[in-house]
Each structure stands twice: as C-alpha cells, then as structure tokens.
Amino acid sequence: MLRKRVIASLLAIAVLCCAFLFSASAENEQCEITLAVDGRGTVLLNGATVSPGTTSYVDPDTTVTLTAEPAANYEFLFWQNHETSKVVSWEPSYTFTAATYALYDAVFTRVQDGHHIVIYLTQGENVVFCQPVPMDDTYYYDSVPTSGMTVSGKVWTGWDKTKEEVAEQEGLVIVHPLYNTDKTFTINAIINGTTTTYEKLYLSRQTLNAPSQQNGEPFSYWRAKAKDVNSVDEIASFYRQYEFVVTGDVTLEAVYGETVDIGVTTRISGDLPSFNEGTIMIAAERSVTTAYTVIQHGILVTKDMQIGSSDSLFVIPQSQSDDNPIYKYTSTNTQRAGSYRVNLYGWYSESIGSHEEFPRIFARPYIIVRDGSGVTQTIYGARYCVDHVLETGTGGGDNYDDPFG
C-alpha cells in the first residue's frame, strides 16, 4: 500500500481533557478527599462536618458519602468535579467508593423571588452556564458558551430547549445539547465467566464494579481484550470501580489472583473519524496505582510509517518543531485515572487507485510517573494505527500492512 501524505493543517490540534473523578495521592497510600463550597452551605463527609478546602483521608475502597446542607435562603443545586465541572450528583447526598483522591464542589444558590435557575450542560454533564435568571427574561442566552459543544463524529445542532421555552419554566431548568447523530458502541463486561453487555452512546461514561474477590482470589485489574489477531490484551484499570469514557467497542474482563510488575498502564482506547468535517479523534486512558505519582501524560502522534511501526523509535522527542516527525500532545491534569482525547483537523481523503483512503496516523500513549523513592520513569502504551477507507469507514487498531513487507 502506498504511503499517504498528511497535509500540514493536520497538525492544528485541539486537545480535550476528559478527567475522571479520581486523581493522585502518593503519600501514605490513602485517598485524599477535598471538598469546596460554591455559594453558602455546609458539607459533611460520612456524617462529619468538613471545613471547605481541608483534606480528609480514607483508605482505598472505602465507601464515602458526601452530604450538602444549604444555608438559610440558599438551595442546593449539585455536586460537581472541581477540575472538570462535571455534575456527579443532583442529590444532596452522594455516595462513591474511594479510589485515589477526589475533589468535589457542593454548589448552592441564593433563593430569589421571580428567578429560576438555568443550567446548560455539555453531553458529558459538564456545566457551561449556571446562574439565577429572572423569569421570562432571555437576555443571558447570548452569553452561554458554545465552544465546548464540539464533539468528534457529531454535529452540534443546538439545545433541547429554546430560550423562550426556558423563560416559561419555573424552578430548576436544565438544558442539554443536541446532535445530529447518536453513535453507540458495545461494552462487554466479563466477571467470573459471565458477560454483561451494554449499548452506550459515544463519549458517555460507563462505570463497571468488580467484586473484591472471586473464588478466594483478590481482584487484580480490568483487562481490555484484543480486538483482532493483530492487537494484544491490555490492562485498562487497576481499580475495581472502573469509570471510563466510551470511545469504541470494547470487551473488558475482571482478572483475579495475578500480579503485575508495575502498577501503571496507559492505552489508546479508540478513534472516531468525522469524514465530512475532515477530523479524527484519538482517545487514550490511563490507570495508576497509589504507589506512583503522575508527573505527565499524553499522546504521541506521527504520520511517519517507519517511526509508527517501531517501539524504539516511537518515543517522546527531544524537541518538537514543524520538522520533527513526532508530535507530543500533553494533558494538563495529573489524575491517576482518566482519559485524554486529541482531535486532529485537516484529515482529508486521497484517491488511491479506484477508491478514496484517508492518511494513516500513528498514535502511542505515554505516562511519566514517580515512585515512592523519587525514581521517575516513562511508561508507553501499545502503538496504534488509524487507517480508514472512505467507502467502508473501516480501520483502526494496529491492523495495517507491514510497512517493510
């Protein structure tokens, strides 16, 4: 197969960080939980009042219940992830299992006569607009951000309520984005030989919970099974409660009674093209145990087939420039468990013989960690090739021709 040219505009990159609820805590292998208050109210952790901004410590796998109590003349709205603005609960009481550390805001608002609370959300339940608005007014509408509505593989078409419809409603008004497609993927979860299948929307979140033991053996990790004969099984998560962003079909199996050399893993979880828009999304995810601190992570991208086919060559470059064939895109958060997406633009098809093909893109995730002794090391995931044919839309994974064969 001919090598294909990638135009320079491909390297105009938009990076989207999609963080999970938990992030790093290296000291004493306990989970840190920090709560903040937006507005006026009181927050409790397992029934005990907590001062906003202070950090509490619990053991991993501990069940944690957060409770929000509004002050006089205030009402509770939601709990949200402090770093991503994702709503994790609309109820004052929110329960989860501690994994590494969590940073949450309890959001309260002052009760005002003649007003209602208007909240605009992204598809992933991230808050883009939240404030009291006078009933029947629509003045705020033009200030609602829309840049975060872009989603690979979909075209944003507006909101599920018009500004006039919002103005007519009382109380809490929640507005969601609309898209012209709702692509779904299949998630197969295997626990003790039993498979449960889920059909999930693209970029929705899925949470899997595995028992702590099976047949007397302790939980080890979730394994993402190989998609075809050209790929390999990969560790997806070291945590029994595994939350991830859906970016493709995947079969995940809970593994028990096995040990690993290092509690760090990262992998490309999928890609999704927008053929008409000339974009391609590549997604990666990571999982790091409490023995390590995340220093940096991201995705390496190249259009050079020789580099993309070599573990020894496809590594972090010493420098990055227009002349360097490896491009490094780095996430801004250092959470232990989460996902990271890169959108590549200017990805257009080319005529190859009698059909249209898109330029191959090679990707490889990486993560830099530091252990308890202060030793820093870089861990790379498996190489991944984006290889799509326009007519069928097929491709992806590392199922591509041997460039040297």
Asked whether the beta carbons of 249 and 299 are under 8 A apart, the reply is no
Residue 27 structure tokens: 């000291």
DSSP 305: H
User: What's the confidence (pLDDT) of residue 270?
Assistant: 86
Q: How far apart are CA 211 and CA 213, in angstroms?
A: 5
User: What's the confidence (pLDDT) of residue 230?
Assistant: 63
Residue that has been written with the tokens 């099984």 in this structure: 233
User: What's the confidence (pLDDT) of residue 400?
Assistant: 35
Q: How far apart are CA 128 and CA 125, in angstroms?
A: 9
Neighbours of 289 (CB within 10 A): 20
Pairing of strands 361-371, 384-386: antiparallel
Residue type, 48: A
User: What's the confidence (pLDDT) of residue 25?
Assistant: 32
Rg of the chain in Å (alpha carbons): 23
Q: Domain-by-domain residue ranges, the chain?
A: 112-179
Tell me how far CA of residue 22 lies from CA of 72, 243, 333, 339, 367, in angstroms: 32, 10, 11, 11, 16
Average pLDDT, consecutive stretches of 10 residues, N- to C-terminus, the chain (405 residues): 26 30 39 91 95 88 90 94 84 82 89 92 84 92 80 76 93 89 85 95 88 95 84 92 89 96 93 74 92 91 90 82 76 84 78 71 92 92 79 41 28
Residue 46 structure tokens: 């397992």
Neighbours of 248 (CB within 10 A): 18
**Per CATH, is 112-179 categorized as 2.60.40?**
yes
User: What's the confidence (pLDDT) of residue 257?
Assistant: 96
User: What's the confidence (pLDDT) of residue 150?
Assistant: 64
Q: How far apart are CA 295 and CA 285, in angstroms?
A: 15
Q: Which residues of 318-331 are buried (b: 16+ CB within 10 A; e: fewer)?
A: eeeeeeeebbbbeb
The partner residues of 206 in beta bridges, in order of sequence, read 244
